[in-house]
Structure 1
Amino acid sequence: QPTLFAIQVALAALLVSWNIYPSTIVSHSAGDQAAAFVAGRLSLEEAVRIVYHRSRLQNRNTRQGGRMLAVSMREEEVKEKLLKGIEHLACIAVINSPRSVTLSGDEKTIDELEQMLSTFHPNIFKARLRIENAFHSYQMDRFDVEKELLSSLSDIRGLPLKDPQQMFNQKCAEACLYSSVIGGELSNKIPVDAHYWWTNVRQAVRFRDAVASIAQNNDATIFLELSPHPVLATSIRECHESANQQPLILPTLKRKENEQITLLTSLAQLTISPDIWQQYFHTRNILSSNEDEAYFDGFPLYSFQLSSCWYESKESVIKRLANRIPTHPLLGVRQLSGQTTATWRSLININLSQYAFLKDHKIQDGILFPAVALLEIVAAGYRQLFLSTDNKEQSLITLEEIKFVKALVLTQHELTEIFTQIDMLKREWSIYSRPWSSAGPDCMRP
């Protein structure tokens, strides 16, 4: 439970950092604490205390003969066909949707119910929960759980916070909070105090009623599930079927799948959702004067950066530039640059025959890029810029005030990028280099 709380709050904080805020918040069982905190009903200290004591006290019933079983049946049908006469041994612990409930109770009784379903109703979906506890059942009445929980949380008021410093986020606190404890909207007058949290532990989770209330009030058409794995999507969809609604339901994380891809895919789906844009226009009071008039708004401006806006792999670069034959083997290919500067880029691979001669320039065990080769690069660049095609080979070039800052060491296991830059106004030049695998913009100056 503490881990779940941390993950849910972290996901909420990440979404808020992207300026994504909820208009409605609904939670399920162990997620109620995070929901109350994000919705501005609890401070962080209070929420953590509730998580701690709830988890600690419920753990007393672990491995004490309790089990839970998810069944794809209606609540009334379960009471009539499965639980009639054995209500003291098993009960409905969770009502997720009109045709999905979870049973909780004595291990032997749960085993018998599972066997009965397999024998007489083989087509009904059922799944045993991988927990050794009977949550939301009579077993929670044991071991003084109620008494100690009420005592530990007696000072928690649970009313809307007034101090912004204690809130998770002020905008999130404006969202409508729906509770699976009461099965509907939780008004500001209903406190999430110690008695509320005991009800959360002991009574059935009425998630179906809470989501049905959201659908009836038309408070949400997009659901973003903040959890380690999406487990409520089907239930949310089934709750909206009676109202002939089809909400967009998106995950934030999926078990055994890439977290970034999952979250960013959901973010992309949010971006293209018509409901999101309708809400965007509505909250800014943008109304069209007639049906055919397009919507306009003053979108935020930003300064464009003169850098690549896409990612391209090195393999793609090699293939794309394969046919671009450089005018000089060491100078390389001229890049797009400013009007007063010229930049060339070359990729040196001493394992290729055209660069094999560089292997001979060794000092001790290191292969050094020759200083004369650096001067040759500058001369080649100068010829491209300032000399005509007819007299490039005959012209004399004079280089002055040459400074070698650092030797360029080549290796057979790493390609080297060399950048040559000439300032045409100042007639100054610089040569930089970096390993091909380097991702940073900084280069070493030879």
Structure 2
Amino acid sequence: MWRTSGKSPMVGERASAFRRLRPVFVFSGQGSQWAGMGRALLERSTVFEMVLRACDVQVRRRLGWSLLDVVTAREAPLGDIEVSCPAIVSMEIALAALWRSWGVEPAAVVGHSIGEVAAAHVAGVLSLEDALHVICEQGRAMGRLRGRGAMAVVSQPWERMGEVTALSEGKLWPVIHASPEWTVLAGEPEALDGALEVLRERGVVARRVDSEVAAHCPQVNPLREELRARLAGVRPRPERVPLVSTVTGRDLAGPRLDADYWVRNLSEPVLLREGLDTLITEGHDTFLEISPHPLVKHWVESCLDAAERPGRVLVSMRRGREPGQELLETLRLLSRPSLDAVPALRP
């Protein structure tokens, strides 16, 4: 097994080769979490451990529980949105730090749903303290809606969702424009089950997401003012890395990611396809998903295919797989280095 040094893991010409790697970092949202997802990297990567411990300090101060215990436990309450939100974002922030310690710098960043909080931190827009404040407050707010909502992934274009939601009498909404072929629906559980039954009868692939809340829809509206007040102290900064918003679908200056923006991030639809299309139009063709398990990889590939642009979509971790192997295999795919050019690792 391996452990990275706390100092720069590469020196000289080997390091410079990796520093030329500049994929788009894509941060995913709910659904990528799994029990024990942080255990191996905490044991084997000094950089990952250092950053996750810094996140743990912020989570403990705000929520009173141990982030480190949650991401290493074989059984953890990751189904609770108050827990999963800060756990996922903290894992993503630590993974991004590990990639950057290896010289893999993002050409741009984009985030899907809560992943946008991690993206904003990596872009330099939010301090670590502000990023963890935003995600802890978002998770706390969503916890108040537990049991009232549900979500589902549907293999039908966003443009055709109107005929489905019209049957729900205002109880369902398209909430994530994921790709040309995929949309996420959210709303009241019974209305969603009825819509899924109709869709399946039509031959549409549709499956419930493991969620007891409906984000990015009008169910969040009663929480907007309180959440805005709780986030009033957030102080966004100019971005150091280009950031494409999935609230607007386009490039966005860092200072605009204020309290009101993070309320919109939680309550308005996720325009992931529009954000990815913006990046593809700008010429980006290599994307690296930063998450504990691939969640948006096939959506990014779908957007590349629709644009008729060749490209690659790589991942950081996979559920249940030894993360060191996955990370180094992805690094080789990014750079095709010889075996003696990989980051310095030690038992």
TM-score (normalised: structure 1):
0.56
Does the 8 Å contact 1:250/1:266 carry over to 2?
yes
Aligned-partner SS, 1:185: coil
Equivalent position of 2:119 in the other structure: 35
Does the 8 Å contact 1:73/1:99 carry over to 2?
yes
Does the 8 Å contact 2:289/2:314 carry over to 1?
yes
Does the 8 Å contact 2:187/2:219 carry over to 1?
yes
Matched, 1:71 2:154: yes
Matched, 1:7 2:87: no
How far apart, in 2, do the equivalents of 1:201 and 1:88 lie?
19
Q: Which amino acid aligns with 1:217?
A: E
| Residue 244 of structure 1, aligned match among 302, 308, 311 | 308
Q: How many residues align?
A: 258
Equivalent position of 1:181 in the other structure: 247
Equivalent position of 1:114 in the other structure: 196
Please state how far the C-alpha of 1:157 moved relative to its aligned partner.
3.2
Please state how far the C-alpha of 1:87 moved relative to its aligned partner.
5.7
Matched, 1:159 2:234: no
Does the 8 Å contact 2:180/2:306 carry over to 1?
no
Please state how far the C-alpha of 1:141 moved relative to its aligned partner.
2.0
Does the 8 Å contact 1:180/1:205 carry over to 2?
yes
Q: Which amino acid aligns with 1:179?
A: S
Please state how far the C-alpha of 1:193 moved relative to its aligned partner.
0.6
Q: Which amino acid aligns with 1:252?
A: S
Aligned-partner SS, 2:307: coil
Q: Which amino acid aligns with 1:21?
A: E
Where structure 2 has 5 or more consecutive residues not aligned to the other structure, the ranges are 1-84
Deviations 1:132-162 (A, max 9, x none): 11111121123xx1121111111223231xx
Q: Which amino acid aligns with 2:101?
A: S
Where structure 1 has 5 or more consecutive residues not aligned to the other structure, the ranges are 161-172, 274-299, 301-308, 312-438, 440-446
Matched, 1:146 2:224: yes
Q: Which has the higher contact order (CA 8 A, sep 6+)?
A: 2
Does the 8 Å contact 2:228/2:263 carry over to 1?
yes
Does the 8 Å contact 2:92/2:291 carry over to 1?
yes
Equivalent position of 2:286 in the other structure: 222
How far apart, in 2, do the equivalents of 1:60 and 1:41 lie?
28
Equivalent position of 2:104 in the other structure: 20
How far apart, in 1, do the equivalents of 2:276 and 2:317 lie?
21
How far apart, in 2, do the equivalents of 1:263 and 1:90 lie?
39
How far apart, in 2, do the equivalents of 1:158 and 1:177 lie?
13
Matched, 1:256 2:320: yes
Please state how far the C-alpha of 1:242 moved relative to its aligned partner.
2.8
| Residue 130 of structure 1, aligned match among 210, 214, 217 | 210
Alignment of 1:43-122 (within 5 A): 43-63=127-147, 65-79=148-162, 81-84=163-166, 86=168, 88-119=170-201, 121-122=202-203
Does the 8 Å contact 1:157/1:191 carry over to 2?
no
How far apart, in 2, do the equivalents of 1:23 and 1:87 lie?
43
Alignment of 1:35-434 (within 5 A): 35-63=119-147, 65-79=148-162, 81-84=163-166, 86=168, 88-119=170-201, 121-122=202-203, 124-142=204-222, 145-160=223-238, 174-188=240-254, 191-218=256-283, 220-272=284-336
How far apart, in 2, do the equivalents of 1:271 and 1:108 lie?
49
Which structure shows the higher helix fraction? 2
Aligned-partner SS, 1:76: helix
Please state how far the C-alpha of 1:85 moved relative to its aligned partner.
5.1
Please state how far the C-alpha of 1:182 moved relative to its aligned partner.
1.1
How far apart, in 1, do the equivalents of 2:178 and 2:158 lie?
10
Equivalent position of 2:52 in the other structure: none
Higher radius of gyration, 1 or 2: 1
Q: Which amino acid aligns with 1:159?
A: R
CA RMSD of aligned residues (A): 2.1
Aligned-partner SS, 2:166: coil
Equivalent pairs: percent with the same residue? Answer: 29
Aligned-partner SS, 1:82: helix
Aligned-partner SS, 1:32: helix
How far apart, in 1, do the equivalents of 2:307 and 2:210 lie?
33
How far apart, in 1, do the equivalents of 2:240 and 2:228 lie?
28
Deviations 1:261-312 (A, max 9, x none): 1111000101129xxxxxxxxxxxxxxxxxxxxxxxxxx9xxxxxxxx9x9x
Does the 8 Å contact 2:156/2:181 carry over to 1?
yes
